[in-house]
Amino acid sequence: MAVLLLPAVIVSVWLVLSHIRRQQFLKEYLELQRKALEKGVALPGNIKEIATGKTDWAAVTLRVGIISLVLGIMGFVIGMWVLPNMPLNPNDVDAAAIFVTFQAFGLLLAAFGVGNLICWLLIDKRRGGRIDKGE
């Protein structure tokens, strides 16, 4: 059962750390803005763009694709690694079904990751270049 919880724990820790990092950045930006207002100095333009929270969706698609692909392959490999080592007990067909289901979810998650990577390659990568040029 611990094998099933490992991907969930990894993703949960990653989400919490990402939220903490974003909150820390916002706190530091507000402190910088307060100090700049006290001294009467203007903030650089690129810091204002970063602080507004504009999302680079091409990077998000790429990141989601890579994470989904890795987690899907990991789920499939875990299912393939555990399933052949199980003793064949006709009374315990549920255990084999659990790992076959684990493999199926791993394949679906990997297919989702491949789909996101294809979308990034065909759409977002080209669109990202045009948006950076101001078109």
58: tokens are: 């091409």
- Computed on alpha carbons and rounded to an integer, the radius of gyration of the chain in Å comes to 22
The yes-or-no verdict on residue 88 having pLDDT over 70 is: no
Of the spans 6-10, 105-109, 121-125, which averages the highest pLDDT? 105-109
Whether residue 132 is predicted with pLDDT greater than 60 in this model: the reply is no
> What are the tens digits of pLDDT across the range 35-78?
888 888 877 666 656 655 566 777 888 888 899 998 888 888 88
Q: Is the pLDDT of residue 135 over 60?
A: no
> 48-85: buried (b, 16+ CB within 10 Å) or exposed (e) per residue?
eeebeeeeeebeebbebbebbbebbebbbebbeebeee
Question: Does the pTM exceed 0.75?
Answer: no
**CA–CA separation, 97 and 131 (whole Å):** 48
